[in-house]
Structure 1
Amino acid sequence: MRDQEPGRLSTKEAAELLGVKPETVYAYVSRGLLGSRRVPGGRGSTFDAKEVRALARRNRRESGTAPSPGGEPAVRTHLTLIDRDRFYFRGVDAVELARRHSYEEVAEWLWTGRPQPGAVFTAPETSVAVARRAADALPEHTGPTDRLRVAAIAAATADPLRFDLAEEAVLGTARTLIPTLVAALPPVSREPAGQQRIAHRLWTRLSPLPADAESLEALDTALALLTDHDLAASTLAVRVAASARAHPYAAVSAGLGVLEGPLHGAAGGLAHRMLVDVLDRGSAAPVVAEELRAGRRVPGLGHRLYPGEDPRARALFALLAEIPRAAPVLSAAQDVVATAARHTPLHANVDLALAALTVACGMPSSASETIFAVARTAGWIAHALEEYAERPLRMRPSGLYVGPRPPRPLPG
């Protein structure tokens, strides 16, 4: 059509430029935001290219969003960039940052863009006590993500300043909420005395084994690597909540709710159980065969954002190689990758590496989800801070009604 009418776009071209569906283009026309012209002798319409570009610029200014290369909406962020099998936190290589800095220091970097050497997070006793009582009142079979979500809401009730969304207030909440969540989990080994890092405190909630330096370093690095990873489903939920000006506790609770979905936070647990099965059987072949026969994907393999190896997995596997008791689990993970590669050449992702860590350290299958949730809380707070600085309620798409046209008679 462009050859026939210079300066005009087809419906498909206009939709791609605006980053919306073709139906939305016609919705813009009906609302008077865009003009159209019927194609002589045809069924379609054309649109003035300059007018479409101006509308696209206006939409981006007003919403803070822009169309991604795939045509899906993208949200402006200063936090994480994923590029060519590497990822960066505020422009700094995230793997190197996690290797050299603690989880707390990486969280501070994400929140403020300023280094905070030796950062330690502490929680007030009142907050911890309320969170523990609420979590302990849950049924015995309750999973850790349920406990964390209840603890977050309970802690909110103990904070009369929770509705203060100023940056310093939100940062203060973040620094107390994360240790409160960890404290709400039941300990399975002796708790450390004094002000310990989150990794050490979390260890006592996950593993009955003594905490050695190498294992603690691996856990701390895992937390740091998992703090953020662009707009995952749980992070998007947090930004929607923050867009409605939900306080940080509620925003984190929204993220925890999505994380519990089987397509998001459960992958590490599935990989954990698979590795235990491989160790029991002595070979990955029958385990992988059963996964494929059941029509399931082999857990812990492949990632839509990394054509090659997940850099988080590579970093964790390197640390696990320094822990002698992790050797059998690493062999099992390598066996899974090599066996699955005969069918489809996929690399290990962070779920497999996290599962190797939890199996090697004597943790339950739910531990990877717990680690993920605690780690990602820092990233969720960072995204909430960004969203609080944007126009309220901008994360509010319009529904495309496809039901029967009104008016219809009242149902009998």
Structure 2
Amino acid sequence: MDGEMGGQMDAQKDARMDARMDGELTTTQVADYLGVKVQTVYAYVSRGVLTPVRRAPGTGSLFALTDVRGLLQGGRAGRRGGPAASDDVRTQVTEVTAGRLAYRGHDVADLAGTHTFEQVRELLVGMPSEAPWPGRGERESLTTLTGAMPDRTGVMDRFKHAVLVAGTTDLGRHDRSPTAFARAGARAAAFMGLSLPGAHPAPTGGPTLAATLTTYLAGSPADLLDAALVLLADHDLAVSTTAVRVAVSSGADPYSALLAGLAAADSPLHLTASLQALDWLTGALHDPQAAIDAALTGRRPPGFGHVVYTEQDPRAQLLLDLLEPECDRAELAALRTVEAELLERRGWVLNVDVALALLVCTLRLPRDAGPVIFACARTAGWTAHAVEELREPGMRFRLRGVYSGPRQS
């Protein structure tokens, strides 16, 4: 009897281990996955319909993805006509919860300000990702191309062309090994930094991304810039990251995959959102009451609200904390007043776009500094997810279209 009980316990343990390998979801994620309220998930648990596999400090109950998927298939979900199965992408790169962000189990609060962007990139990618610094001939090719662009050319277009140059000057461009992807990611980031007007390899501090960006973002302390890069290095399966994984799944080379990410990110709904937040912030710092009134009687202001964070955006809070010694106290107090009112009255979380906008205002950086930092930082996460996607079956992202147009009679 004892042997039988032991066997059952071993089997249950194996099942729990299998569940963890397949993926786990928090209570909030389960509700979002099923399209139901959090209270409904609690009801499922109380009735024994769904059982947590374990509890984690600060996170609460964790549920096996296989169990939740079983509820979806059993018709208990609130989804109707949801996306295809390709929305279930298991990843070991980044974990995002209601108020926390962690890279491979390391909280960004412990990384920002203590680890360089290059160290965090290596952590995310899972292997060293150093690449030879662009040589003189490569830099000349980049300068020739960017020099032919109109003066009004934006930084995102500069970055796309920079990645093209990085790819076309790489003899091993079509190598799709993990190490080649890691190398290409670091190489592309270096070319992006050097594509900015007046940017050049920093004479001191070594060829780091932060040091290179400071030659364009004059007035930005390298350590503060490095911390911002760390905070923005990855954010799970954002739309641009998904685009990178789709490109990798289709067989694209590393540089083409990064270009897919840049194309998807070049949007006021994604990477360039800090520009809208910057325009809003100027008035809000001058007259916080007017900003509150406008928000409560009109539309949600840019830089507030988030699809994942319901308590706080940890990236925003950490960046604001790092900025505090540099900020005007009255302006920071004004922003905190607006933040508190909109969170309490509307539940709108101040997100990282506002924090980036404050960085630009405080340090008097070029208007496009937010997208510059964001795009360069995110090359680390895109590379990490690209390397992870290499282990998956090719061409697995195939949405099923449900035809709703006219039909032949």
- Normalising by structure 1, report the TM-score: 0.74
Relative to structure 1, the CA distance from residue 400 to residue 199 in structure 2 (aligned partners, 3 Å threshold; closer, same or farther) is same
Q: Distance in 2 between matches of 1:342 and 1:173?
A: 45
Q: Quote the residue 2:398 is aligned against.
A: 396
Q: Quote the residue 2:176 is aligned against.
A: 165
Q: What's the CA shift for 1:319? A: 0.8
* Aligned equivalent of 1:283, options 287, 291, 315: 287
Q: Is 2:305 the counterpart of 1:299?
A: no
Q: Secondary structure at the match of 2:96?
A: strand
Q: How does 1:131-280 map onto structure 2 within 5 Å?
A: 131-187=142-198, 192-194=202-204, 195-207=206-218, 209=219, 211=220, 215-279=221-285
Q: Please list every run of 5 or more consecutive structure 2 residues that lacks an aligned counterpart in the other structure.
A: 1-29, 36-65, 71-76
Q: What's the CA shift for 1:135? A: 2.3
Q: Please list every run of 5 or more consecutive structure 1 residues that lacks an aligned counterpart in the other structure.
A: 1-15, 22-52, 58-67
Q: Distance in 2 between matches of 1:326 and 1:193?
A: 31
Q: Distance in 2 between matches of 1:225 and 1:322?
A: 18
Q: What's the CA shift for 1:296? A: 3.5
Contact 1:329 1:360 in 2 (8 A): no
Q: Secondary structure at the match of 1:317?
A: helix
Q: What's the CA shift for 1:383? A: 0.9
Q: What's the CA shift for 1:203? A: 2.0
Q: Secondary structure at the match of 1:321?
A: helix
Relative to structure 1, the CA distance from residue 305 to residue 155 in structure 2 (aligned partners, 3 Å threshold; closer, same or farther) is same
Q: Distance in 2 between matches of 1:249 and 1:132?
A: 19
Q: Distance in 2 between matches of 1:267 and 1:250?
A: 24
Contact 2:131 2:187 in 1 (8 A): no
The aligned amino acid for 2:272 is A
Q: Determine what percentage of the aligned residue pairs are the same residue.
A: 36
Q: Distance in 1 between matches of 2:102 and 2:323?
A: 22
The aligned amino acid for 1:124 is G
Q: Deviations over 1:83-104 (max 9, x none)?
A: 2411211111122122320111
Q: Distance in 2 between matches of 1:76 and 1:187?
A: 41
The aligned amino acid for 1:180 is F
Q: Distance in 1 between matches of 2:350 and 2:306?
A: 8
Q: What's the CA shift for 1:277? A: 2.5
Q: What's the CA shift for 1:120? A: 8.6
Q: Is 2:117 the counterpart of 1:103?
A: yes
Q: Quote the residue 1:12 is aligned against.
A: none
Q: Quote the residue 2:365 is aligned against.
A: 363
Relative to structure 1, the CA distance from residue 231 to residue 321 in structure 2 (aligned partners, 3 Å threshold; closer, same or farther) is same
Q: How does 1:317-356 map onto structure 2 within 5 Å?
A: 317-323=320-326, 325-341=327-343, 343-356=345-358
Q: What's the CA shift for 1:290? A: 4.5
Q: What's the CA shift for 1:292? A: 6.2
Q: Distance in 1 between matches of 2:276 and 2:113?
A: 26
Relative to structure 1, the CA distance from residue 376 to residue 193 in structure 2 (aligned partners, 3 Å threshold; closer, same or farther) is same
Q: Distance in 2 between matches of 1:345 and 1:398?
A: 35
**C-alpha RMSD over aligned residues:** 3.0
Q: Deviations over 1:362-411 (max 9, x none)?
A: 113321111110000111111111112211111122222122224x6xxx
Relative to structure 1, the CA distance from residue 359 to residue 121 in structure 2 (aligned partners, 3 Å threshold; closer, same or farther) is farther
Q: How does 1:47-58 map onto structure 2 within 5 Å?
A: none
Contact 2:233 2:381 in 1 (8 A): yes
| Higher alpha-carbon Rg | 1
Contact 1:234 1:254 in 2 (8 A): yes
- Normalising by structure 2, report the TM-score: 0.74
